[in-house]
Each structure stands twice: as C-alpha cells, then as structure tokens.
C-alpha cells in the first residue's frame, strides 16, 4: 500500500508515512492502488497530472540534496571567512612586533643624532674659530736661531686694533731685571724636605719668594744640608725660563759668613736637568740693594712646567751647620 499524500510505499503496520508524516487512514482495504493516483486533488503536482510514488521520492531527494549543498557552501564560506580573519590577525600581529622592535632603534638613532648635533653646536660655540693660539716664545734677551721649544696653552694678546700680537709675561712682577728684561716670578707652591724650627724665628719655605733679604729658608736636618730638596708645584702649567737664587743668609754679612750656603744645586724640570755651582764671592755686601746680588740661572729656553725639583748637592760650610737660602724662585 502507498501513502495517499506523497505516494510512498507503506507497510501494513505503519499508521504514519515515514516520508511526509501523513496519517494513514484505517480502512478495510481502501488503500491506494499501485497505479497512478488520479483523484483530481493537488498533491504537489500543480498541473493536475498523475504521478507515481517514485516521482515524489525523487523530488524530495533533489530538495534534500540542494539543501545539503547549500549547507555545505555555507560551511565552506564560514571556514574561508575564518581563515582570512586569522591571516589578517597574524599579519597585524607581525606588523605590531616589527614596529615595537624597530621603533625604539629609530628613536634611539634620532636621539643620538640630535645629541651629537647639540654637542657639535656647543663645541662650535665654545671653541674659537682660529685654533692658532700659540703665544710667541718669551726670549731671554739672547738671540738663538735654533730655539725650537714647543709651547702649549699660550694665547696671544693684542696691543691695539691692528691685531699685532705681543707677549704678555705670566707671573708676578718683581721689579728686578735680567739682561734688560723685567723678571716675573712664576706661581708655584714650595715644600722643603726639612725646615729649621727655633722659637721666635721663622725659617719657612715661603721666605724664598718674599723678596726680602732679611729672611731666609733654613734646612733643619742633621748635617750641613747636603741632599736637602725644595719641591716647586703648581696646579697649572707655568711658563719658565730660569731659576733666580740668592744663596746664604743675607740679612747681614756676619750671618752670611756663619751659616752654610749651597755651593752646587741640581735642577730637574720639564724632563731637563741643570747643574749650577756658586761661590761665596757671588754675594757682596755694600751700600746697594742686596737683591742686586740675585743669581739668574738661565735655562736657555722657555717652556711650560707644573713642577720642579731643586736638590742641594754641595755646601759651602760656615761655623753653623745650617744651610740657608734667602731667595729662590722660578721666573720668566
């Protein structure tokens, strides 16, 4: 027997069509014939033409297949959209990572370039355009064509608007002269290897630069003062051309004769070594200024130093074993 609604073949025990769900009427043998249905009712064929159960099943199968295709295409479309979305997200993440890694480097490079530019600008404002700032060498009054002493950190000064460079001696003017040129005392601190200490008397190193012949430095070591030293130091390089010395205690002839005086000294400065010897006859006592007895040890060149060591290597003895020096300073 067949379903009267869709034509599906039914078992006798079935009360509902498994295809369309139509109720199967209970009758005594009134079932559809195996032939064509021709009851004039519109059961899916709008043309009113008879159809078999096979036609109905084929129609439902095609509809189910089309529905499956639509669902399959919808699923494929969803998968494609998900894949495209994943690719876009991965690309965005990669771009973000590259940006985070590269951007700090770009910023750092720009910052370095800006800092370098600021530094160069600052240096250009600080440094003079003309780097030729060497000062003409200070002469000792004696022409010397072979003098090629290199000078550093000396700046020329100009006397007037015609930009004529003139030498400006460094140091403290002393009022003394050597070879017709004024003597300037270079600025050094002095420390002695020993100092004579007597209550009520002053024999400190500072007396060596006070331009007072009534004072002196006196060593305080045992013996006559041989190998005692005087160390000259400065925080900045000073221009020097010689050492001025007034040996002995020149306050009076009696004190000069009684005390020891250096007869030979060694001068070490600027990588150079000078040895100089004195005699008692170098100092005379008369009606003139005792500073006129100053002995100028000319180094033969002018150079810059920040320290100098003077060592007493020999002594002219007196009745008292204290070696004295009234004045001793580096000059230019």
pLDDT digits (tens, 9 = 90+) for 96-109: 888 888 877 777 76
CATH, domain range 166-331:
2.60.120.260
pLDDT tens by residue, 276-303: 999 998 999 986 889 999 999 999 999 9
Q: Where are the domains of the chain?
A: 166-331
Q: What are phi and psi of 295, to 5 degrees?
A: -100, 125
What distance in Å separates the CA atoms of residue 197 and residue 74, rounded to the nearest whole number? 114
Cα-to-chain-centroid distance, residue 295: 50
Whether the predicted model's global pTM rises above the 0.85 cut? no
- The span from the CA of 219 to the CA of 229, in Å, is 9
The two tokens of residue 273 are 């070594």
Q: Which residue has the higher pLDDT, 246 or 105?
A: 246
Decide if pLDDT at 115 tops 80: no
Tokens matching residue 316 = 């002219």
Q: 244 and 331 in contact (C-beta within 8 Å)?
A: yes
**227 against 166, higher pLDDT:** 227
Average pLDDT on 7-31 reads 76
């Amino acid at each position: 027997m067949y379903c009267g609604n869709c034509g599906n073949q039914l078992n006798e025990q079935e009360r509902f069509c498994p295809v369309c769900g139509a109720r199967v009427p209970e009758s005594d043998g009134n079932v559809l014939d195996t032939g064509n249905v021709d009851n004039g009712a519109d059961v899916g064929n709008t043309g009113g033409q008879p159809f078999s159960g096979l036609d109905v099943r084929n129609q439902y199968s095609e509809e189910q297949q089309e529905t499956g295709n639509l669902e399959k295409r919808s699923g494929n479309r969803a998968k494609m959209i998900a894949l495209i979305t994943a690719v876009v997200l991965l690309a965005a993440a990669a771009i973000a990572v590259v940006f985070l890694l590269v951007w700090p480097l770009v910023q750092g490079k720009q910052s370095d370039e800006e800092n370098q530019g600021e530094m160069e600008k600052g240096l250009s404002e600080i440094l003079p355009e003309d780097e030729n700032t060497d000062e003409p060498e200070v002469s000792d009054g004696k022409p010397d064509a072979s003098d090629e002493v290199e000078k550093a950190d000396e700046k020329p000064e100009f006397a007037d608007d015609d930009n004529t460079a003139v030498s400006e001696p460094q140091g403290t003017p002393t009022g003394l002269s050597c070879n017709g040129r004024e003597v300037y005392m270079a600025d050094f601190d002095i420390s002695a290897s020993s100092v004579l200490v007597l209550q009520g008397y002053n024999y400190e190193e500072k007396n060596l630069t006070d331009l007072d012949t009534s004072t002196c430095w006196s060593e305080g070591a045992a013996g006559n003062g041989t190998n005692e030293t005087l160390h000259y130091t400065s925080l900045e390089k000073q221009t020097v051309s010689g050492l001025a010395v007034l040996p002995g205690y020149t306050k009076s002839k009696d004190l000069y004769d009684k005390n020891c005086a250096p007869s030979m000294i060694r001068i070490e400065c600027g990588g150079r070594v000078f040895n100089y010897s004195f005699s008692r006859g170098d100092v005379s006592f008369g009606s003139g200024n005792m500073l006129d007895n100053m002995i100028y040890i000319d180094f033969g060149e002018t150079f810059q130093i920040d320290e100098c060591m003077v060592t007493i290597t020999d002594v002219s003895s007196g009745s008292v074993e204290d070696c004295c020096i009234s004045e001793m300073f580096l000059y230019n």
